[in-house]
Amino acid sequence: MILVLVGPPGAGKGTQAKLLCARFGIPQISTGDMLREAKRSGTLEKRYLDIMDSGGLLPDEAVIGLIDRRTAEPDCRGGFLLDGFPRTVPQADALDALLVGQGSGIEAVIQLDVPRSLLEERLIHRRTDKRSGQIYHLVYNPPPPGAELEHRADDRPEAVGKRLDAYEAMTAALLPFYEQKGLLRRVDGVGTPEEVTQRVMSALGRPGSGGE
């Protein structure tokens, strides 16, 4: 089971990825999380750090290398879910080549659809508790007192617009690539996390197996 989750920043990709991975018993591979981890541990090259913080995309070779190494690990043998990769057609080509080499292939590409105005509102108010990793919305899902809150540098208003523009430019090329292969499944991403998961399960042809 190899799944690709595509969606603009703030669409709930991370939340859906966790729910789906738990259901299918596969690991979540998020290039954004891997890069943030490298940033925290001080191993991310300075030029990449600057690109990330301003909301730009890293060069394809940098992220393809990450995916090459991660998917070769033993826990990926039964499949995996990609979150935030591929973002460009060259990345999608590299992924295809990698999977052909492993004798496997993508089962489906799930696109979470959320209107831009809602995304901006979600991202600008998004905060993460540094200790637990829990994500909050300052208005709709406020953090408890005492939470140690972090506002991602790229969730600041000046970077948010750039990231959403980058996503729109990306989907213009990437989604037709997967649509032509018959792999694309569009899912309405507005609703509670559980509602969206149900829609994803239906789109994967597994309705009814998404309930707790």
Annotated binding site for AMP: 31, 36, 56-58, 84-87, 91, 152, 163
Q: Cα 201 to the chain's mean position, in Å?
A: 17
Which residue is nearest to ligand AMP, using beta carbons? Answer: 32
- Counting Cβ atoms within 10 Å, is residue 106 exposed (0-12), middle (13-18) or buried (19+)? middle
Choosing from 6, 35, 110, 204, the residue that interacts with ligand AMP (CB under 6 A) is 35
Choosing from 6, 7, 71, 85, the residue that interacts with ligand AMP (CB under 6 A) is 85
12 binds ligand AMP (CB under 6 A): no
Task: Please count the other Cβ atoms lying within 10 Å of the Cβ belonging to residue 174.
Answer: 22
Residue 13 is a catalytic residue = yes
Instruction: Point out the annotated binding site for ATP.
Output: 10-15, 126, 135-136, 191
Residue 163 is a catalytic residue = yes
Query: What's the CA gap between 188 and 196, in Å, rounded?
Result: 7
Give the residues lining the site for ligand AMP (CB under 6 A). Answer: 9, 31-32, 35, 51-52, 55-58, 63, 84-85, 87, 91, 154, 163
